[in-house]
Structure 1
Amino acid sequence: MERIAIDVTAAITGRTGIARYVLALADAIEALPEAPTVARFAVGRALVEVPERTRHFPVPLRVVDRAWRAVAHPRVERITGLVDSVHASGPNLVPARAPVVAVVYDLAALDHPALHPARDVRQLRRYVEHLARADAVMAISATTADRLVASGVAPGRVHVAPIGRSPFPTAVDPPLAGRRYVLAVGAPVPRKGFDVLLRALARVDDPDLGLALIGPPGPEDDALAELAAALQLTDRVHRAGPVTEAELAGWYQHALVLAAPSVDEGFGLPLVEALALGTPVVATDIAVFREVTGRHALLVPLGDVDALAAALAEAADRPPSVVAQVALGTAHVAQYTWAACAAATVAVHRAL
């Protein structure tokens, strides 16, 4: 029986976006026709509950990583038993006797080091430097694949398997239901550009238009609160922490527009989710957002506050042009399913 080991370490460390990826991918692979067996494993101290059916190696990740880099031990098979291949989903490239597929989400920390903690920059740099040890490299978007090739990875070694969108459960109405608001999703970190979003909101001639920022706590929370106060927006900004899938669906459905003013991303799942639910998207005009929306969004130059404000106002008013754009976007994002991601992923593993 074919067995693929999948590193789900992100699911025990609280790295929410990557955690969603590894857990959804593992489940989707097992749901494929003639599916391989999936051996889930996680390394390090668990900050959250260890997922079911996961083999947990509870030694601190930094200790294991030093051993991996020094002597390439312990190999994955010590944790999982014999496997046919390994899906290394980061943040460390695991050693194994079996062929390894290394996943790269983005190179944002290398392209914009000033916007990321030094530890993240060092970790990603080391991971990319070690890609030569992997038997194949997988990117979650064509944009990330192009960036990997530009960085020196041989084109024939890079494969693309766009991440999927999980169907939402029945939506739960948010606290702002019935009110006019822009939605932003994600932890407040510098690359998200939420400071630019606040400045743009202050320039929209609509005092009833608010902002709902949904996501886990981040290092920019205090600075954003201070900026909102300075811009006299405190009463118009609603900060919600992590929410359930049902609650997130409600936030999307009641929003006038989703705003994504990011400097860089590896994919852009909130844009896909918003369009799937019929919500207009205003986003930075960067390659990955053009890719995942099919350009069916209002795209504005990076850091252009006035352009962002104008786009927010236009999208919030829902003219026929925006309604038509959303319909095209909804059709475009239908391709992003976990079944498609799983099939593309398994095809790479079986080709090794």
Structure 2
Amino acid sequence: MRIGFDAKRAFANKTGLGNYSRFVLDALMAHQPGHEYLAYTPKNNRNLFDEFPSGSIRYPKGFIDRKLSAYWRYASITRQLRGENIDLYHGLSNEIPQGLQRAGIRSVVTIHDLIFERLPHLFKPVDRAIYRHKFQSACQRADSVVAVSDQTRRDLIALYGVDDSKIKVIYQDCNPVFQKQLAPEERVRICAEYGITGPFVLCVGTLEERKNQHRLVEAFARLKNHDFKLVLVGKPTAYLTKIKETVHQLKLEDRVMLLHNVSTPHLPALYQAADVFAYISIYEGFGIPIVEALHSGTPVLAAKGSCLEEAGGPGGLYADPYQTENISEQLQKLVTDVHLRNTLSEAGREHVKQFAGQHIAGQLVQLYESLR
């Protein structure tokens, strides 16, 4: 089969949807080479996916399509797909172009999450309207919908009325850099660059309200009889002010570290050096940071209520993200019980095997071939 992909995010987005798109394309090329994979993107100028074969990248052909690349992705790309004999088109980031069915092209769309529906107060009304139109339209028109978690599958059924038989839950893995164990001295050296010494709890994720870091700080403040630090890594937003205020009120300036510029190559060292990884986000579509922690052999504390229990499985403990006392109780167990941490670490390494690229590529190709 000649399979086309909406690969804009693979070439334009460093994290999130970009990571997912690169993971899918890499996995398919490595483990399922029996089909032809073509990546469609308006441009490729950020050097984020140099390993993808240049001969399999497709750009807008005409002057107008190049100038109106958003409309190309929305509709006029279909003409190009038909002319290039694409059998199936997979929208990797919540949308597919108009007209695929009329052109005789089968289609799959991956829906990552419906956070904007579950937590509407965090999004502008106009953004919610755009997302809703794109997502609903894609789910209605696609021959099959890939949900990255069972939580997303349940949301699609409950909120958009998508037929369960149309949805296939197919997970994803994280960046391969998190799967390579570093030498202990390398971990120590990199941590020292950021001033990290001694035992610590790590949290990685954009510093925003949904990620709930201020409540993690409150829970950390309740811990007893420990010498741990809390290291929060992530891009700052206006919510950073609330985190800093919480740290100041609880007099934790010497115990909580805020890091905003940790490079991706350095992140594995922090994950592997951490004694505990905490991620108590209120709502997620899947929870890639948890998968990164499990690959690192680091036990997890995560939030109940969305998909994080799927991502972490037996590799972690779970708490109500709105209950500081519950978060602190679970964190206390992890901080004080080395045997528990080791047990969760081993269970997590086993659990995360199901997210491997070889397994996911096989599931995707099975889905594609079923739509022939």
- TM-score between both structures, scaled by the size of structure 1: 0.87
Residues of 2 paired with 1:158 and 1:77: CA distance?
A: 27
Match runs of 1:168-179 below 5 Å: 168=177, 169-171=180-182, 172-173=186-187, 174-175=191-192, 176-179=195-198
Aligned to 1:239: 258
Please give the root-mean-square deviation of Cα atoms over the aligned residues, in Å.
2.9
Q: What's the CA shift for 1:138?
A: 0.4
1:300 aligns with 2:319: yes
Say if 2:203 and 2:232, in contact at 8 Å, map to a contact too: yes
**Match for residue 110 of structure 1 among 100, 117, 120:** 117
Task: Give the counterpart letter for 1:323 in structure 2.
Answer: N
Q: What is the SS of the residue equivalent to 2:4?
A: strand
> SS of the counterpart of 1:234?
coil
Q: What is the Cα deviation at residue 307 of structure 1?
A: 1.4
Contact 2:314–2:347 (8 Å) recurs in 1: no
Q: 1:199 to 1:19 in 2, by over 3 A?
A: same
**Aligned residues between the structures:** 348
CA distance in 2, matches of 1:116, 1:180: 37
Q: 1:51 to 1:82 in 2, by over 3 A?
A: farther
Aligned partners of 2:10 and 2:21 also within 8 Å:
yes
Aligned residue in 2 for 1:149: 157
Alignment of 1:1-352 (within 5 A): 2-14=1-13, 16-43=15-42, 48-49=46-47, 51-52=49-50, 53=54, 54-57=57-60, 64-65=69-70, 72-75=75-78, 77=80, 81-95=84-98, 96=100, 97=103, 98-130=105-137, 131-151=139-159, 152-168=161-177, 169-171=180-182, 172-173=186-187, 174-175=191-192, 176-205=195-224, 208-241=227-260, 243-352=262-371
Tell me how far 1:64 sits from its aligned partner. 4.7
Deviation of 1:334 after TM superposition, in Å, equals 1.6
Asked whether the equivalents of residues 42 and 66 of structure 2 are also in contact (C-alpha less than 8 Å), the reply is yes
Q: Distance in 1 between matches of 2:199 and 2:230?
A: 9
Name the stretch that deviates more: 98-107 or 229-238: 229-238
For the 8 Å contact 2:13–2:19, the answer to whether it is kept is: no
With over 3 angstroms needed to count, the CA separation of the structure-2 counterparts of 1:292 and 1:20, relative to structure 1, is: same
Q: Is contact 2:173–2:357 with CA below 8 Å preserved after alignment?
A: yes
Q: CA deviation at 1:60?
A: 9.8
- Extract unaligned runs of 5+ from structure 2: none
Q: Distance in 2 between matches of 1:323 and 1:73?
A: 54
Q: By how many angstroms is 1:56 displaced?
A: 4.0
**In 1, are the aligned partners of 2:87 and 2:106 still within 8 Å (CA)?**
yes
CA distance in 2, matches of 1:339, 1:146: 26
Normalized per residue, the structure richer in helix is 2
Gaps of 5+ in 1: none
Bigger CA radius of gyration: 2
CA deviation vs aligned residue, 1:218-257 (integer Å, no higher than 9, x gap): 4433432333233333333323335445422111111121
Instruction: Evaluate the alpha carbon distance shift between residue 246 and residue 331 of structure 1 in structure 2; reply closer, same or farther with a 3 A threshold.
Output: same
Q: 1:162 Cα shift? A: 0.6
- CA–CA distance in structure 1, aligned partners of residues 354 and 367 of structure 2: 19
Letter in structure 1 aligned against 2:107: V
Secondary structure of 2:355 counterpart: coil
Q: Deviations over 1:112-132 (max 9, x none)?
A: 111234454233211222011
Give the CA deviation at 1:133.
1.1
For the 8 Å contact 1:181–1:211, the answer to whether it is kept is yes
Letter of the structure 1 residue corresponding to residue 13 of structure 2: G
Give CA-to-partner distance per residue, 1:36-60, whole Å, 9 cap, x none. 121112237x783463434344989
Structure-2-length-normalised TM-score: 0.83
> What is the alpha-carbon distance in structure 1 between the residues aligned to residue 222 and residue 268 of structure 2?
28
Structure 2 CA distance, aligned partners of 1:235 and 1:198? 13
